[in-house]
Amino acid sequence: MTGASRTGCAVVTGGTRGIGAAVAERLRADGWTTATLGRSTGCDVRDPDQVAAAFDAIEAEHGPVLVLVNNAGVRDDGLAIRMSHEQWRTVLDTNLDGAFHCTKRALDSMLAARWGRIVNVSSVVALRANPGQANYAASKAGLVGFTKVVAREMARRGITCNAVTPGVIETDMTADVADAIVEHVPARRAGRPEEVAAAVSFLVSEEAAYVNGTTLTIDGALSA
């Protein structure tokens, strides 16, 4: 049994391609009315006003947001010593601040319903650092800490908050690095977006009600 029998909807940020698109497709298959947010759909998650307006519009059409998957993310790699302030801020503002803005808005609806599911899409780099990704690693590690705090704050309200940390997944974002990293993956292959989506599907289900504040790693044993 999923939570899709509840009156409400799901929102996936960065949901137009890659992992986000696979998650949105899986949630729809699970019975959730699912909306996607991203710059291509007119919402920059770095801007709390745009986030609030987008959630208002979604809820006016589909009811309260009861499931939120914070997947929007960017990379802008470079050695820390050479990284510009703009590179740092662009990645942190999107990957971490964006999740904060969306979570804060979604919690209003979840608290009213006394039920909610939040899944933050972090990364294996939060657990196993990659040189040249100081900004990306910081943002994704921040998501793990953020996940734990929200879980503890909301646990008595019927709301769970968990994270997934994908490893090398076949997406546009990893196209330039996948071949170099796959040789280090014990499974000897890249993961598929659908495999991440399956994990998210479980975490938003009724069966996962007691799974809260955890991080589920999906990386073919890369971080083991």
Cite the active site residues: 136
Question: Which one, of 97, 181, 183, lies nearest residue 132 by Cα?
Answer: 181
Length of the chain: 224
C-alpha 40/C-alpha 47 separation (Å) is: 14
160 in Cβ contact with 211 (< 8 Å): yes
For 37, 82, 190, the CA distances from 76, given in Å and listed in that order, are 21, 12, 21
For 84, 88, 193, the CA distances from 139, given in Å and listed in that order, are 16, 9, 21
C-alpha 33/C-alpha 47 separation (Å) is: 24
What is residue 8's three-state secondary structure?
coil
What is residue 61's three-state secondary structure?
helix
C-alpha 90/C-alpha 97 separation (Å) is: 10
